[in-house]
């Protein structure tokens, strides 16, 4: 009997629908080359694992718990959502939903509250991805009786016992995450994939803006492009700059000024006017004036 597999990784990838998600990830997210290639690697691992199982090569499912490190607005949450979709399509998890939490969702204020809280979240995430943002806040060494430790223990157990139907992704700043792993070797040893999200270059931020605008059915007119480029290069150097999130927030404010300007025209508006953002909508930003000290607010 020929035991060779008639399904190539390529056809399997196609059939699972994961190819489409991977293609969208590549197309809809600017830059992030190292991140994208790591996700392709993980998809390959899962596909080969399935082909191996098909021909009777048994092994335990690979551990897929991950850590996403990077500054705010570098795409960690967005990629985690896509990752969850890919994992479902490759049959690693059943549902592929993402449950995004922070310490407050897992840890209680009083004795006896933490275990049920954490278990409830784990239950909700089962069959999908549990995304723990700023995960290092779970560990507070300065507080000897911090309930975070209890939450960590329960998470570790779930990560071990449900490794074939629950993927935990820890996210946060790189240096704080490193410190966290330094004092939590149990957690460190269960994280199989560390993916670093670099800050975007000025060029990438411009591309992200254009992509966001296209998705929103807006466009910059010709003078608006260099104006926004100036905006980006100033804003990047200010406090509270949050990469792509700051771009999204800036576009929101520009749309607001655009709307106010059109409103003031008090005339019949053409479709072109309705979708075209002008340099003046951008140049009115505080970033060009005294905003240099303060920065614009880009809350989460």
Q: How many of the other CB atoms lie within 10 Å of CB of 40?
A: 15
Indicate the helix (H) or strand (E) that contains 197. Answer: strand 193-197
Name the segment binding ligand ADP (CB under 6 A); options: 27-35, 59-67, 249-257, 262-270.
Answer: 27-35
Instruction: Decide whether 75 or 96 has the Cβ nearer to ligand ADP.
Output: 75
Does residue 30 bind ligand ADP (CB under 6 A)?
Answer: yes
Q: Which of 231, 244, 276 is nearest to 258 (CA)?
A: 276
Does residue 245 bind ligand ADP (CB under 6 A)?
Answer: yes
Can you tell me the distance from the alpha carbon of 282 to that of 279, in angstroms, rounded to the nearest whole number? Answer: 5
Can you tell me the distance from the alpha carbon of 87 to that of 283, in angstroms, rounded to the nearest whole number? Answer: 44
**Candidate residues 13, 16, 21, 31; the one interacting with ligand ADP per rule CB under 6 A:** 31
Instruction: Decide whether 70 or 96 has the Cβ nearer to ligand ADP.
Output: 70
Phi/psi class of residue 144: alpha, beta or left (left: φ > 0; alpha: ψ in -120 to 50)?
Answer: alpha
**Candidate residues 78, 149, 179, 249; the one interacting with ligand ADP per rule CB under 6 A:** 78
> Which residue(s) pair with 133 in the sheet?
171
**Candidate residues 20, 29, 101, 292; the one interacting with ligand ADP per rule CB under 6 A:** 29
- Decide if 71 contacts 173 (C-beta within 8 A): yes
- β-pairing, 167-172 vs 276-277, is unpaired
Q: Which does 168 bind (CB under 5 to 8 A by kind): Mg ion, ligand ADP, none?
A: none
Phi/psi class of residue 295: alpha, beta or left (left: φ > 0; alpha: ψ in -120 to 50)?
Answer: left
Does residue 148 bind ligand ADP (CB under 6 A)?
Answer: no
Q: Which does 74 bind (CB under 5 to 8 A by kind): Mg ion, ligand ADP, none?
A: ligand ADP
Instruction: Give the nearest residue (CB) to Mg ion.
Output: 77
Can you tell me the distance from the alpha carbon of 30 to that of 200, in angstroms, rounded to the nearest whole number? Answer: 9
**Candidate residues 77, 89, 118, 243; the one interacting with Mg ion per rule CB under 5 A:** 77
Q: According to CB under 6 A, which residues from 196 to 215 bind ligand ADP?
A: 208, 211
| Tokens, residue 264 | 């003031």
Least Å distance between CB 246 and ligand ADP? Answer: 9
Residues that contact ligand ADP, how many (by CB under 6 A): 17
Q: What are phi and psi of 152, to 5 degrees?
A: -60, -45
Name the segment binding Mg ion (CB under 5 A); options: 45-53, 77-85, 213-221, 224-232.
Answer: 77-85
* Interface positions with Mg ion (CB under 5 A): 77
* Interface positions with ligand ADP (CB under 6 A): 29-32, 70, 72-78, 208, 211, 244-245, 248
């Amino acid at each position: 009997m020929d035991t060779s597999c008639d399904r190539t990784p390529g056809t399997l990838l196609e059939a699972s629908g994961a190819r489409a998600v991977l293609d969208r990830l590549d197309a809809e997210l600017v830059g992030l080359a190292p991140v994208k290639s790591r996700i392709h690697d993980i998809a390959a691992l899962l596909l080969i694992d399935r082909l191996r199982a098909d021909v009777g090569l048994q092994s335990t499912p690979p551990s897929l718990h991950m850590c996403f490190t990077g500054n705010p607005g570098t795409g960690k949450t967005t990629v985690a959502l896509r990752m969850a979709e890919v994992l479902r399509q490759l049959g690693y998890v059943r549902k592929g939903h993402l449950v995004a939490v922070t310490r407050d969702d897992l840890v209680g204020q009083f004795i006896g509250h933490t275990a049920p809280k954490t278990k409830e979240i784990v239950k909700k995430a089962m069959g999908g991805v549990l995304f723990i943002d700023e995960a290092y806040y779970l560990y507070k060494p300065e507080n000897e009786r911090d309930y975070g430790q209890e939450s960590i223990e329960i998470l570790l157990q779930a990560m071990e016992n449900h490794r074939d139907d629950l993927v935990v992704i820890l996210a946060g700043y790189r240096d704080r995450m490193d410190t966290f792993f330094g004092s939590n070797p149990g957690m460190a040893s269960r994280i199989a994939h560390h993916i670093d999200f670099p800050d975007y270059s000025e060029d990438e931020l411009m591309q992200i803006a254009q992509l966001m605008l296209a998705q929103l059915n807006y466009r910059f007119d010709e003078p608006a492009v260099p104006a926004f480029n100036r905006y980006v290069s100033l804003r990047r150097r200010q406090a509270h700059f949050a990469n792509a999130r700051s771009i999204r927030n800036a576009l929101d404010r520009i749309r607001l000024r655009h709307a106010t300007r059109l409103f003031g025209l008090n005339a019949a508006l053409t479709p072109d006017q309705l979708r075209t953002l002008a340099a003046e909508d951008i140049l009115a930003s505080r970033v060009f004036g005294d905003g240099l000290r303060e920065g614009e607010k880009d809350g989460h």
